[in-house]
């Protein structure tokens, strides 16, 4: 009796907590993912990289000298101003600009990863919700069978053992519902964590599942604009810019030098000096630096080709998995569920009439619950497979 009361208390508490759950749809999760902490961090990284483009246009530091002599000028002041007139500043700015585009492209990849994690978390939350629905239905079926067993006992055509077994099956079904709701609570915390929400918020996935249709050939046409491909090309441009900047080191650095000598007893006045200095990279190993930069660019070009090949393979694989998942869900809903529903109803009716034993009715109810759970999971699998297809094709927003 105490076990029954404990189970009933768990069910009541669980129903009350579920009533306080906040409904979240797939589209609302996608919108919330745009403002997740990691997404904001990616935006700040891009802003910082853009700021460094302007900083890359800075001239080399000027040099100010002040000194004195024991016998001649009392004060000697000098100024050296580097002159970036041979393209070095432009090359540095081009490299910084290319790097900013890489940061922006990689930031988009990071945002896509956050969106993917949010979508997967929502789908798992929806899976838990669907399982709860099927388990609640199974609990109702178990309650109906227990009611039939008690009715047969009262009519003198059944036994106490049937009532006990039916009650145990009902208790198991109730416990399964409570466990499923606890799993939903855990999935809720995972989704909240991805979005930067309070994990104590109770969330419940509602609304339509993502889905759509598309031809593989049309999806492959989108791969040229896939963020991963864009990022690979941006990295290649950055390597080329670094190679160009390395070649700029062959050019000499020019600087204007100004100097004034004050208080020199050997001179009738202030002595002024102006000159031009040239830094020649004779022992700078510039050739080695250029070769290294060119090989980095060649390696990046090979990686870009590998990225394109991998994206094409990932898309085809995702599309095939989506086809298989969709066909499985459709077949279960069309062929298996109606037959199993009918079998469960017939078994319950046969038990009520005494034509079948309790074990047959319970097994038919368990089989129906298993099939309904399998169908719910198959729908989620098909939706998740479509999400993978959309992401593999490079779409920014999954429907």
Only one residue has tokens 């038990």, namely 351
This model's pTM is above 0.85 = no
pLDDT band at 17 (very low <50, low <70, confident <90, very high): very low
pLDDT band at 289 (very low <50, low <70, confident <90, very high): confident
CA 371 to the chain's CA centroid: 32
Tell me what the mean pLDDT of segment 204-219 comes to: 90
Strand partners, 271: 261
Question: What pLDDT, in 10s, does the model give residues 294-320?
Answer: 899 999 999 999 999 999 999 999 999
Task: Dig out the tokens for 391 from the structure.
Answer: 């992401």
Give the pLDDT confidence score for residue 397 in this predicted structure.
61
CA distances from 125 to 74, 241, 382 (A): 82, 46, 15
Give the pLDDT confidence score for residue 1 in this predicted structure.
44
Give the pLDDT confidence score for residue 19 in this predicted structure.
52
Domain edges within the chain = 2-393
Please report which residue ranges of 332-357 form alpha helices under DSSP H. Answer: 337-353
Indicate whether 170 pLDDT > 70. yes
Question: What pLDDT, in 10s, does the model give residues 69-78?
Answer: 888 888 999 9
Indicate whether 8 pLDDT > 60. no
**The domain over range 2-393 is classified in CATH as 2.60.40.1230:** no
Strand partners, 24: 205
Only one residue has tokens 């109730």, namely 174
Instruction: Please check whether residue 385 is in contact with residue 319, taking contact to mean a CB–CB distance below 8 angstroms.
Output: no
Task: Dig out the tokens for 3 from the structure.
Answer: 């076990």
Torsion of CA 235, 241, 243, 249, to 10 degrees: -150
């Amino acid at each position: 009796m105490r076990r029954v009361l404990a189970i009933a208390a768990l069910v009541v508490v669980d129903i009350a907590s579920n009533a306080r759950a906040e409904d979240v749809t797939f589209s609302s999760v996608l919108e919330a993912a745009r403002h997740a902490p990691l997404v904001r961090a990616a935006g700040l990284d891009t802003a910082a990289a853009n700021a460094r483009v302007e900083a890359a246009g800075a001239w080399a530091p000027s040099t100010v000298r002040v000194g004195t002599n024991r016998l001649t000028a009392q004060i000697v002041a000098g100024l050296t101003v580097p002159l970036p007139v041979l393209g070095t500043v432009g090359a540095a700015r081009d490299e910084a600009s290319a790097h900013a585009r890489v940061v922006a492209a990689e930031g988009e990849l990071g945002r896509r990863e956050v969106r993917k994690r949010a979508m997967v978390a929502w789908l798992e939350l929806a899976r838990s919700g669907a399982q709860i629905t099927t388990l609640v239905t199974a609990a109702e079926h178990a309650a109906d069978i227990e009611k039939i067993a008690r009715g047969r006992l009262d009519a003198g055509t059944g036994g106490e053992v049937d009532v006990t077994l039916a009650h145990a099956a009902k208790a198991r079904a109730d416990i399964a519902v409570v466990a499923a709701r606890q799993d939903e609570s855990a999935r809720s915390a995972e989704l909240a964590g991805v979005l930067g929400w309070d994990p104590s918020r109770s969330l419940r996935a509602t609304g339509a599942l993502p889905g759509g249709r598309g031809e593989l050939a049309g999806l492959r046409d989108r791969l040229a604009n896939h963020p991963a491909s864009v990022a690979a090309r941006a990295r290649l441009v950055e390597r080329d810019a670094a190679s160009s900047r390395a070649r700029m080191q062959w050019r000499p650095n020019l600087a204007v030098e100004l100097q004034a000598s004050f208080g020199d007893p050997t001179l009738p006045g202030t002595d002024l000096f102006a000159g031009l200095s040239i830094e020649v990279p004779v022992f700078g190993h510039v050739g080695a630096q250029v070769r290294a930069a060119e090989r980095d660019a060649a390696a990046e070009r090979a990686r870009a080709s590998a990225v394109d090949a991998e994206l094409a393979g990932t898309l085809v694989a995702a599309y095939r998995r989506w086809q298989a998942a969709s066909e499985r869900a459709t077949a279960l809903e069309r062929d298996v569920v109606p037959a199993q529903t009918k079998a469960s109803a017939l078994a319950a009716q046969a038990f009520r009439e005494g034509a079948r034993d309790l074990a047959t009715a319970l097994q038919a109810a368990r089989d129906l619950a298993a099939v309904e759970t399998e169908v719910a999971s198959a729908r989620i699998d098909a939706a998740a497979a479509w999400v993978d297809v959309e992401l593999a094709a490079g779409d920014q927003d999954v429907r």
